[in-house]
Structure formats: structure tokens, C-alpha cells
Structure 1
Amino acid sequence: MKFGKELASQMVQEWGEAYMDYTSLKGLLKDILKFRQTNAAAAQSSAAATRKNSLKRRLSMYRAFSGLTNRFNTPRSNKEEDEEGVTILVSTVEQEGIIGAPPRYQTTFLVSSSSEAGGEHELAFFRKLDDELNKVVRFYREKVEEVRKEGDELSEQMDALIAFRIMVEKPEIELHAAAHRKDSAAATHARKQAKSYMDAIQETEMSGEESIRMSNDQKKRRMEEEEKTDNFTNFRPAPLEVLDHIKVNVEPETPISTLKNILKTSNSDLKFNRVELSKAEERMRKAFMEFYQQLRLLKSYCFLNTLAFSKIMKKYDKITSRKASRSYLEMVDKSYLGSSDEVSRLMERTEAAFIKHFANGNRRKGMSSLKPHVKREKHRITFFLGLFSGCSIALIAAIIVLIRARNLLRHKGSAQFMENIFPLYSLFGFIVLHMLMYAGDIYFWRRYRINYPFIFGFKQGTELGYREVFLLASGLSVLALAAVLSHLDMEMDPATRSYKVLTESVPPILITLLLIITFCPLNIVYRSSRFFLITCAWHCIWAPLFKESLPDFFLADQLTSQVQAIRSLEFYICYYGWGDFRKRLNNCQNSKIYQIFNIVVAVIPFWIRLLQCLRRFFEEKDHSQGVNGLKHFTTVAALVLRTLYELKKGATMRILAAVFSGITTIANTYWDIVIDWGLLQRNSKNPWLRDKLLVPNKAVYFAAIVMNLILRLVWMQLVLDFNLPFLHKKAMVAIIACLEIIRRGIWNFFRLENEHLNNVGKYRAFKSMPLPFNHEVDKRL
């Protein structure tokens, strides 16, 4: 693999602009090479070569004689040999007008750009190289300063944790014993000094030989005594006074804690129990792990950039046949990038502290927790993915053949099947389609190097790849299609005038199985991802009592595209609770309670997003969140009016539904494209898009804009009563719901691309972990 690709694959994507621009510098070297090749071809001639050789031979006649044995000649140093071929002079320049600013590195090209072929190109190369070096050094210095401050904060937290540990575990016996040993060691040391003093007086009266022998014996005895008492003389218990100025912060955020904070009744005083200690230790453990990852990334940043400068200078020497790399790389080594060992020392101290306090001194266990685990691709995932996909295709073919063979579309029970059974299985179709779109998003996020695990905050090494999501989707599709195939029974039992109970109970059995798998506490079927999804769903349910994060409102956005799936769940309850499922009959549409809940369940996802926007608006003082909340409120109004029109009809209701649907369609389309995707910027480098694009083909963005607009207009379909005569109404609703899911899948990719670029613009590559203790600002009594 070429170094350029290796650098792109190993760099921290959020810091991409802070790395050395290897591609640009390589392009300048290509310009130098091209210019030199062009001039060399034009200037070469056999006569010139002959004159040059003859000149060399004539000049060699007048060179000083070096002698036969080299006895009188002194060897030339490497420095003298390098000075003959030196072409650059590297130096540091102080920045004027900025007190305490680090120096800038500057290279002087000693070859005249006018006389030397390609000199102008080489001068441009070194100017660009100096700019890149100064950029890298400045960024590295800033990041090292940030981690140094975080290290100081972690040190203060560790002082508080150790003091807290002493107060909880109360090791009085051990501390008193250690203090006693310390006092005894001090007394022994005093006696030893007194004895040494008396021995020194006696030594003055002894002969020189005896004095030396006695001195050696004393030194040996002193070393043995120090080895015995060293473990206790250095013991110093942590000061407990630090606990007087901190507040505990170990309780997780809950709706109750949020309400207490609003009512100013929260109690955060230390209680000194083992539960608080365990929570504090867990938070500190996570904070140390995240801090160590920061140090690893910084060390990798330093190494990759240093290697990049080495590679590019070697290419320069090879192209120009000069000796400039040594002097320039010496400057790189002397710079803050090459000379600072702050990160390495912090890593060593972090490892030692983590192993001592959080791994019980077990280095293997501690380093296993600190170092990230490489996720391995498993062959069985690919195998089962192919198996389930093939089974799904076979089941679809079997269903189509069975429908055609039995002519079920024209059967007298087909309408009854579409009204009662089809909505039950369409729920699984919506879920599978959404999972397929999400798997496709993951594939393209990885292809265009969008750091979705960091953006979503997945636990390291547990994020699902597109193969895993495809596997889950194909497995669910096999279960659902097999259930549909077993349920294609249009004939009643002539004796009971009803269908088989087991056949009609297949959908709720399938739902129950999915719920059991989802909430299963065992470490099967990607437990970490399942619990992450459950946590985000719980935060959505209790919005705005939880502080919102991107995974929470991202999941709420997904739910807004699953309105029909939520209504299908409502239909499950009505059909099996109050309907006659054995005869495939229900009166759900005629029930006023069902109609009211049909509106409520459709509004829930948009209401959640409204509450989330209000929480962020009041907490972050972000006016754009207020506008976003207003947009979701208009969506709620449009959805209510549209549902009421479906139930009651009427010209007035139709006009109101059409007006509000049109307003919310325009508002949502604008917000999707301009705010969520960051496109349609007039003054961008890419007209009507944005300055930074990850997809090389710009037509993809314009196609996505058009697709989003067209699929947003699906909102108007139910208001305009547009139906196809050969499709059942339930099938038409399902198709519209599928189009909305497809639109959401497209939205997901560009939404996360824009979020990734925002993180890149702010160089955000680390998660901020909550610390267990809050230091009081005002420490006055």
C-alpha cells in the first residue's frame, strides 16, 4: 500500500485537516519532476556530454595529490561532505507582536530560483512544507496542552476518589500500622545517623586501611537497612481535607433527578457508602479509558506526521538528487512534534495508575481494558447472511406461486384478509425495510469514512457493521415470510365457521418472540446494541426529562417515519383484544376510542421531537431549536387534521388538511436540505451544495434533493385521495409508508455526513466522560 493511502486509512478522521497535506506536497514534487524531465530532454546533447567529460579530465590534472598511503591526509567529516551539497537552511523565526507565541519554522532555499532549472517549483514546495510543519506543530501543541489540563483534572479526581475510598472502607488498623512503621523507620534512621556520626569520629583515629574497610562495611549495612524500611518510609495516606470542597456526581440522570433539579431539592452530599464508591470508581475507570484513548490518538498523530515528513523529504531528495532531507528532518526532530515526550510520559503514568487502582495490580487485565479490541469479521456471519437471504428469496417466490396457483387475489376472502391480516404482517415489512436502509447507510458511512460509532457514542468494539444488520434483517424476514406462508389460508372450518386458532395466533407469537429477544438479558444477539437501543427509546419516552444526545433525537426522527408501524401495533391490540380474530373480523374503525388513539399514536413521535427541541432550546439557548420545535408542531397539526379528514371527510376539513400539509411539507423539506444536510449554500465552493463533500460525484447530492422533495410530497396523497384501482387501500398505505422509510434512509446518510463534517470542523474526536466529583468554585467558609 502506498503511504498516501496508508496515511488516509490510519489518520483520525476528525483531525483530517490538521495532518500534513501529503497529497498536495506530492503533487508539487510531481511538478518538479515533470519540469526537470522536460528541461533535461531539451538540454541533452552528445557534444555537451563530451565537453563535460573532457573538462573533468583536464581539471583532475590540477587536483591536489592525495598521497599513496594517505598518511598525511585527514579524513573529511560527514559535516564537511554535507556542506558541499547543502541546498536549504532551516531556522526558527519568532512571531512578531505575539508574546509567548511558539516560534515558526522557516526554510531558506539557497539555490537561486532563476538560475537553477525548476528552482521556482522547489521554492514553492518548501514554502508549502513549512506551512504544513507549522500547522502540525501548532495543532499538536494545542492538543497536548488540552490533555495536560485533563490530566490535572483527573489527578484531582483521583485524590478525591482515594480519600473517598478511605472514608468508606475505614482502614484504621492498616493506616495506624503504616504510621507506626513510619515512625519506627524514622527512629531507626535517626539512630543510624547518630551511629554513623560516632563512627566517623572514631575513624579519624584509625589507620587509612582500617578506615576504608569500616566505611565499606557501614555503606553495605546502610543499604540493607534502607531496603528493609523503604516500603514504609515512603507511605503517605491521601489527605481527607479534599472531601470538604467537592460534591458527588455519581447518580445517573433519571426523570426523578431532573425534576428534583428543577425544584431545587436535589441532594448531592457525600454519604460515604459502598454504592457511591462503586459508582465513582466506575466513572473514573471510564474516564481513564477515554483519556488513554486520547493519548493513543495523539501519539499516532505525532508518529504519522513525522513519518510523512520523512517520506516526502526522501522523495524530494530522490527527484532532485539533493541532500536536503537530513537538515530538514533534524529541524522536525528538534521541533515540539519530535522532541516533546509529554504524551509518552502521560501514557506511562496513566497505565500505572489504571493498573494500580482499577485492575488490582494485574497489568495484563489493565492493559486489556485500556487498549481497544480489534473487531474481527466472522465467517459465520457471512454464511448465515447468505443462508437467510436465500431462504427469504425462496419464501417470496413460494408466496407468489401459491397466490397465483390458488388464485387468492380473486378469492372471496381476499378482501377480508387485506383488512385484517395484511396490517399485522406489514409491521414486519416496515421494520425489515428500515433495517435494510440502515445497513446500506452503514456501508456507505464506512466507505466514505464517516465515523458513525463516535457520533452515536457506541461502546468501543460493539458497533454493528452492515453485515450484522443485514443478518438481523434477513433473519427477521425469514420468520415473517414463513409466518405469512403459513397464514395464506382462505378457507373457514365449515363446522365452526371460523379459522384455526393456531394459524390466527402466528402474528402475536412472532411479536412475543421478537420482544423476548429484544429484552433478553443474556449476552446473545448483540446484547450491547440491543440495550443501547432500549436506552435511547427510554430517553425518547421520557423526553424532555433526559438531557438529549444525538442518538436520542436521531431515533426519534426514525420513529417519525414509522407512523404506520406504530398504528399496526395499535391494531394488534384492538384486533386480538376486542375483535373476533378466529373469524377475521374487527370493529376497530367504528370505535371512537380506536379513532382517538389512531391520532394519538401517530402524533407521539413528532411530539417527542417537539419536547426534545424545547429541552435543547431552554438548556442551550439555541434559537434554531425553537424553530425546529415549531416545525414539528405544524407537523403534528397537519397529521391530526389529515387523520380527521380520513375519518370524517368534508370540504372544510380537506382544505385545512391540505393547507397544513403543504406548509409542513415545505418547512420539512427546507429543514432537511438546508439545516440537516447543510446543502443549498450560495457562496460555497461547490455551487448550491456545501464547501466540503465526501461523495466525489456531485450529482448524487442533487439527486438526493430531488428525491427528498418528491417523497415529501407523499404527505399530500391521502389528502388528495389518490388511489390506484388495482391496489387495495391497505396496500396503498403500506407502499406510501415504505416510500417514507426509503426517504428516511437517504436522509440518514447525508444527516450523519453533515454531523461528521461539523465534528471535523471543530476537531471533536473524543467523548467527554462525566466525572464523579464536582469541585466547588467558592471554597470560602
Structure 2
Amino acid sequence: MDVIQEVDTSAEMNSESDDEKECDDKSNSNCQKKGTPGFIPPPLQVLDRVQIKIEPETPFLTLQTLLLGLKAKNSFSKKELKKAEELMSQAMVEFYQKLRLLKSYCFLNQLAFSKIMKKYDKITLWNASKAYMRTVDNSYLGSSDEVAKLMVRVEATFIKHFANGNHRRGMKILRPKAKKERHRITYLLGLFTGCTIALILAIVLLIHARNILNHEGRNKYMENIFPLYSLLGFMALHLMMYAGNLYFWKRYHVNYSFIFGLKQGDELGYREVLLLSSGLAVLTLACVISNLDMEMDERTQSFKAITELVPLALLLVVLLIIFCPFNIIYRSNRFFLLQCIFHCICAPLYKVTLPDFFLGDQLCSQVQAFRSLIFYVCYYGWGDFTTRSNNCIGSEVYRKFFLVIGLIPYWFRFAQCLRRLIEEKDPMHSINGLKYLSTIIALAMRTTFQFKGKHWLFMASTTSAIATVFNTYWDLVVDWGLLRRNSKNPWLRDKLLIPNRSVYFIAMVVNVVLRLAWMQTVLGIREAPFLHRTALTALVASLEIFRRGIWNFFRLENEHLNNVGKYRAFKSVPLPFHYA
């Protein structure tokens, strides 16, 4: 049963208690609620057939449902009742928004018809608009009385049962919030962007002035300090790409807010995300300068240990901001991100939604960031950071963690595919799961080849080639919906948002080329001119983040145009009711 039917039934049941008349079953047809003409409350026997049923949403309840089974019960805890109330409140809000859209749609059609008739009268010199508009006004196209009555009933029911009779509070929840543009965000964005450019220039001049590239401490810095800051650099780059996605989604009218299920009025725009990215970049680059010339500057020798702790302190600050419970720095968005991350970690115990598997794909492009996080533990736990040295690569334990941590994001997506296969019975999810399984095998073979040498070259090359072909085909054909031979747009798809078709072909070529970045590992290219091994690894990881940013736009464009019927044709809210 869709949300409109469910909420309408719920609204009628709730509004019956407000009726000042007492009606028996025989006189229901003559009974109307005061102030609501034409309202006929449902028979009370409906309540005997409805029971509250709380769907399992936690790993514990999911396992309990699978192993023992849960049935509708008569007694509930306060937490379960609160959850049921939240679902009903959300359903009422969604139903009210649909009514507002219907009313707006009716008004726009009436306005459009009026303008057409005025143009017609002007050209033909007739006066036919009055007769036509009279007919339109009396038709369902020009009349929204039923919708208006429903809106009044929903408002009254919501204010009484979900706002404790507070009219202002209830209407504030029901009506959409207009997002305010803040000039300080634009100002801070410009400030941080300028500081980022200035710090990059300062680092380049510092390297050139002190001839750091030819200094004997270069290798120590690149092997011990650079991987620590690269983690934060990957985060800043991914935020920057996401900000670009938001800009182009908005420009080409992709309804990303609705698709992701973001709370209306609280979703971040591209300016806010760019502000976070530039702010993180400023902090990271400022800390980089503090460690860049420590081996060459005698003034830093006395507080060497403190200086080496700067990357760890910066990481702790970033983590504190992410988990900060106070209502600062976009708390609702941070908690939404943490919730999606938790769902990915607990896969397949949670029901998979689009934000969950979309985030899982983002994590698959941050494998090197996960490995940098492991290096933090090794460097500050097992290494001697006071002398800027470590023996992580030579440790067998570190190598095992280095391998496992790179496979975890792909395991998240594999587990999510299994959950969707069980729930939706769609064989495409099994094929998608095989795709991630092939990537897991390929990444394991490449990592083993990286540590153990040429004996694993054939296995690494073969599995990587199979995974690359599999992933590339899935990206272009399934996720992007392109390469349709019989399409109106040859080798693309019928519906396109970008007028310039060459953009799609360029994106496909770039996706294929960047997918081949794994060849750097297999071909044994460990260093390049003026690039250290760790810098080359960071560059390849950055190219993968760039590829994911391009993938994001076309993935959500295809979702917006073609897959809404499959995923989110309308926003339904599962009410906590079990109908016998």
C-alpha cells in the first residue's frame, strides 16, 4: 500500500476521535466531522484488524528475525513506540508535501491555460478566454477543493497528535524550509581558497630554496611523513570532487537531494562542501610546512618529537570534528554520513538503501586512504617517530593488515549485494557481487605481487585484467546506462541531460584509461622522474578519486532519468502497521 493510502487511512482513524458526534455503524453515512464537509469516518472495526509491527532495523533485530522470527505483538517498549511515532509523523509530512505538489500543479496548469487564452485572444481578436476559463475553473484541472480539504485535515491531525496542539510548531514541520544563502560561507570559501594557493606556493618555494629534492633527508620524509599527510589530502580531494558533483547536479537539475533522501533544508550545497575541502587543505598544508625542513633546520632539533606529532594531532582534530555531538559544522550531515558508514560496516545486517551503497562505492576509491590510516598506527605505535624511522614494510603483521584493509571496502559492497539479492531476488545483484569479488581477488594478487615479487606476476596481471573489463563494462552499461545501440542518441541512451554528446564519449574514454592505473603496480613502475615511490602511489590513488568523481555524476544522472521507477518512483514510508 503506498504512502498516500496509508496516511489517508491513518488520518481518518485519528480524526475520528476529534469528532464531537457519536456515530454508530448504521449512521456513518450521515455523520460528518465539524468543519470538514463530506468527511465520513471509517468504521471502528478497522482498528481490530491493525496491529503495530516494528520492522527490524538493527543488526541484533535482523539476526533475531532471521533465526527466531518476529511477529506482531501487543506490548511495546517506549523506544519502539517512539520509533512508530516517528514513522507516522514522517509519513504525514510526506503525504502533506505530495498534497502541496498537487495543489501547485493544479495552479500552474490553470495559470498556463490562462496565458495561452490571452495570447489566443490577442492574435485572433476574439474574446473567448472568459468562456473557456469558466469551464476550466469548474473542472478538476482548475479546482483543488478536494486537495485543500485533505490538507486541512492533515494539518489538524498532525498539529493535534504530533505537535501537542502547537500550531506554529506543527506548520513549521509540515511546510518546506527555504534554505538561506549565507554570504559568510562565500567569504570564508574565498579566504581558505586563497590561503591554500598561498601555502602551495610557499611549499614549492621552500623546496626550491632549500634544495630539498636533493637532500639526504628526502627519502626519510617521503617514507615516513608524506603517507601521514596523504590521508588528509585524499579526503580533501574527494570533498572537492563531491562539491563539483553537487554543482553540476544542480546545474543540470538532477534531484540528488530526493534521491539520497537528504533532509530538506539541511542538505549541503557545493559552496559548503568546497568550504570544508579548502579548510581541510589549509590545515594540512600548514602542518606540512612544520615538518618539511625539520632535518635541515637546527632550530627544530630541540623539539623534534613535538614536531613529529603534528600529523597525529591533525588527524585527531579531524576525527573530533566528525564525531562532535554539538550542533556545529553541519551536525545533521555529519551524523547522516556516520550512519551510512555504520550501515556499510554492518553489511549485510542492515537494509541497503541508495546512500549506503553509493557511499560504499566511494570507499572503494579510498583504499590508499585506509592503508594510510594503518600506517598511522604502525608509525606511532611500532616505529620510532622521534628519529623519523619505521620498519613497517618489513613487518609480516603490517603486510597482512595492509592487504586486509585494502579489501574491506570491496567486502562492504559484496555484502550489500548479497543482502539485496536475498531481499529483491534480482539476479543482477549476484552479478554485481561477482564483480566486487573479482576486484577483491585482483587486489589481493596485486598486493601479494608487490610484496613477494615476480612469481605472482601472472596471477596479478590476469585477475586485474578480468576485474578491469568486468568493472568497466558495469560502469558504462549498467551504472551509466550508456552504449545502447538502438538508442535515439547512438551508443548513448535515449535521455541525456548534457546537450553536448561528446562529453559522454570523453567520460567513457577517461573512465577506461583511469581504470588501467593498476598497471603501474604490475609493470613494476615504482618511481618516476622527480617522484618518489610514495608520491607515485599517492598520484595513482588521486587519479582513482578523480575517476570516481566523474563516475558519480553520470551514475546519479542515470538514476535520475531512468532508474527512479525501479528505486524511488515515489517516496514511500513504511508505516509500523501489520494488516491482518
Alignment of 1:181-196 (within 5 A): none
Q: Is the contact made by 1:504 and 1:582 (CA closer than 8 Å) also made in structure 2?
A: yes
Larger Rg: 1
Per-residue deviation, 1:325: 3.3
Q: Give the counterpart of 2:172 among 357, 368, 374.
A: 368
Q: Name the counterpart of 1:536.
A: 340
Q: Is the contact made by 2:56 and 2:65 (CA closer than 8 Å) also made in structure 1?
A: no
Q: Is the contact made by 1:317 and 1:325 (CA closer than 8 Å) also made in structure 2?
A: yes
Asked if residue 666 in structure 1 is aligned to residue 522 in structure 2, the reply is no
Q: Name the counterpart of 1:710.
A: 513
Q: Give the counterpart of 1:333 among 122, 137, 149.
A: 137
Q: Name the counterpart of 1:407.
A: 211
Q: For 2:499, give the aligned amino acid.
A: P
Q: Give the counterpart of 2:487 among 684, 695, 701.
A: 684
d(CA) in 2 for partners of 1:157 and 1:389?
56
Q: Is the contact made by 2:294 and 2:301 (CA closer than 8 Å) also made in structure 1?
A: no
1:485-505 deviation per Cα after TM superposition (whole angstroms, max 9, x unaligned): 111134279999897111000
- Aligned to 1:360, the other structure's residue is in SS state coil
Q: For 1:552, give the aligned amino acid.
A: D
Q: Is the contact made by 1:157 and 1:773 (CA closer than 8 Å) also made in structure 2?
A: no
Alignment of 1:476-487 (within 5 A): 476-487=280-291
Q: Give the counterpart of 1:654 among 445, 449, 457.
A: 457
Q: Is the contact made by 2:241 and 2:549 (CA closer than 8 Å) also made in structure 1?
A: yes
d(CA) in 1 for partners of 2:85 and 2:48?
19
Alignment of 1:88-237 (within 5 A): 149-155=5-11, 158=14
Q: Is the contact made by 1:439 and 1:465 (CA closer than 8 Å) also made in structure 2?
A: yes
Unaligned segments of structure 1, at least 5 residues: 1-144, 164-177, 183-229, 231-236, 777-781
d(CA) in 2 for partners of 1:436 and 1:262?
41
- Aligned to 2:488, the other structure's residue is in SS state coil
C-alpha spacing 1:692/1:582, structure 2 compared with 1 (3 Å): same
d(CA) in 1 for partners of 2:43 and 2:256?
43
Q: For 2:463, give the aligned amino acid.
A: F
Per-residue deviation, 1:272: 5.1
Q: Is the contact made by 1:374 and 1:461 (CA closer than 8 Å) also made in structure 2?
A: yes
d(CA) in 1 for partners of 2:540 and 2:76?
58
Q: Give the counterpart of 1:693 among 472, 496, 499.
A: 496
Q: Name the counterpart of 1:471.
A: 275
Q: Name the counterpart of 1:38.
A: none
C-alpha spacing 1:251/1:622, structure 2 compared with 1 (3 Å): closer
d(CA) in 2 for partners of 1:540 and 1:146?
28
d(CA) in 2 for partners of 1:532 and 1:437?
19
C-alpha spacing 1:522/1:573, structure 2 compared with 1 (3 Å): same
Asked if residue 520 in structure 1 is aligned to residue 376 in structure 2, the reply is no
Per-residue deviation, 1:307: 1.3
d(CA) in 1 for partners of 2:2 and 2:413?
35
Per-residue deviation, 1:238: 12
d(CA) in 1 for partners of 2:7 and 2:153?
10
d(CA) in 1 for partners of 2:432 and 2:183?
45
C-alpha spacing 1:621/1:761, structure 2 compared with 1 (3 Å): closer
Per-residue deviation, 1:339: 3.6
Per-residue deviation, 1:763: 11
Q: For 1:356, give the aligned amino acid.
A: K
Asked if residue 458 in structure 1 is aligned to residue 254 in structure 2, the reply is no
1:50-69 deviation per Cα after TM superposition (whole angstroms, max 9, x unaligned): xxxxxxxxxxxxxxxxxxxx
1:285-336 deviation per Cα after TM superposition (whole angstroms, max 9, x unaligned): 1111111011111111111122112222322332333444344434433432
d(CA) in 2 for partners of 1:495 and 1:374?
54
Q: For 1:688, give the aligned amino acid.
A: W
d(CA) in 2 for partners of 1:676 and 1:697?
20
d(CA) in 2 for partners of 1:495 and 1:356?
70
Q: For 1:705, give the aligned amino acid.
A: M
Q: Is the contact made by 1:681 and 1:687 (CA closer than 8 Å) also made in structure 2?
A: yes
- Aligned to 2:106, the other structure's residue is in SS state helix
1:630-654 deviation per Cα after TM superposition (whole angstroms, max 9, x unaligned): 0111000000000000000124x11
Q: How many residues align?
A: 561
Q: Which piece of structure 1 moves more, 495-504 or 553-562?
A: 495-504
1:157-212 deviation per Cα after TM superposition (whole angstroms, max 9, x unaligned): 7489x89xxxxxxxxxxxxxx99xx9xxxxxxxxxxxxxxxxxxxxxxxxxxxxxx
d(CA) in 2 for partners of 1:707 and 1:479?
31
- TM-score (normalizing by structure 2): 0.91
- Aligned to 1:582, the other structure's residue is in SS state helix
Q: Is the contact made by 1:454 and 1:765 (CA closer than 8 Å) also made in structure 2?
A: no
Q: Is the contact made by 1:491 and 1:499 (CA closer than 8 Å) also made in structure 2?
A: no
d(CA) in 1 for partners of 2:265 and 2:390?
48
Q: Give the counterpart of 2:440 among 612, 619, 636.
A: 636
Q: Give the counterpart of 1:356 among 123, 136, 160.
A: 160
1:113-158 deviation per Cα after TM superposition (whole angstroms, max 9, x unaligned): xxxxxxxxxxxxxxxxxxxxxxxxxxxxxxxx97763443323674
d(CA) in 2 for partners of 1:381 and 1:497?
40
- Aligned to 2:102, the other structure's residue is in SS state helix
Per-residue deviation, 1:249: 3.1
d(CA) in 2 for partners of 1:294 and 1:469?
30
Q: Name the counterpart of 1:426.
A: 230
Q: Name the counterpart of 1:217.
A: none
Asked if residue 719 in structure 1 is aligned to residue 522 in structure 2, the reply is yes
- Aligned to 2:393, the other structure's residue is in SS state helix
Q: Which piece of structure 1 moves more, 712-721 or 602-611?
A: 712-721
Q: Name the counterpart of 2:37.
A: none
C-alpha spacing 1:157/1:267, structure 2 compared with 1 (3 Å): farther
d(CA) in 2 for partners of 1:269 and 1:348?
33
- Aligned to 1:590, the other structure's residue is in SS state coil
Q: For 1:152, give the aligned amino acid.
A: D
Alignment of 1:547-566 (within 5 A): 547-566=351-370
Per-residue deviation, 1:597: 0.9
Alignment of 1:745-764 (within 5 A): 745-758=549-562
d(CA) in 2 for partners of 1:390 and 1:495?
29
d(CA) in 2 for partners of 1:157 and 1:728?
70
Alignment of 1:11-160 (within 5 A): 149-155=5-11, 158=14
Per-residue deviation, 1:764: 5.0
Q: Is the contact made by 1:437 and 1:745 (CA closer than 8 Å) also made in structure 2?
A: yes
C-alpha spacing 1:578/1:267, structure 2 compared with 1 (3 Å): farther
- Aligned to 1:247, the other structure's residue is in SS state strand
C-alpha spacing 1:156/1:626, structure 2 compared with 1 (3 Å): farther
Per-residue deviation, 1:726: 2.9
Q: Is the contact made by 1:499 and 1:582 (CA closer than 8 Å) also made in structure 2?
A: no
1:191-242 deviation per Cα after TM superposition (whole angstroms, max 9, x unaligned): xxxxxxxxxxxxxxxxxxxxxxxxxxxxxxxxxxxxxxx9xxxxxx999976
Q: Name the counterpart of 2:429.
A: 625
d(CA) in 1 for partners of 2:567 and 2:371?
42
Q: For 2:11, give the aligned amino acid.
A: S
Q: Is the contact made by 1:567 and 1:601 (CA closer than 8 Å) also made in structure 2?
A: yes
d(CA) in 2 for partners of 1:351 and 1:569?
50
Q: Is the contact made by 1:413 and 1:490 (CA closer than 8 Å) also made in structure 2?
A: no
d(CA) in 2 for partners of 1:731 and 1:332?
69
C-alpha spacing 1:146/1:315, structure 2 compared with 1 (3 Å): farther
- Aligned to 2:51, the other structure's residue is in SS state strand
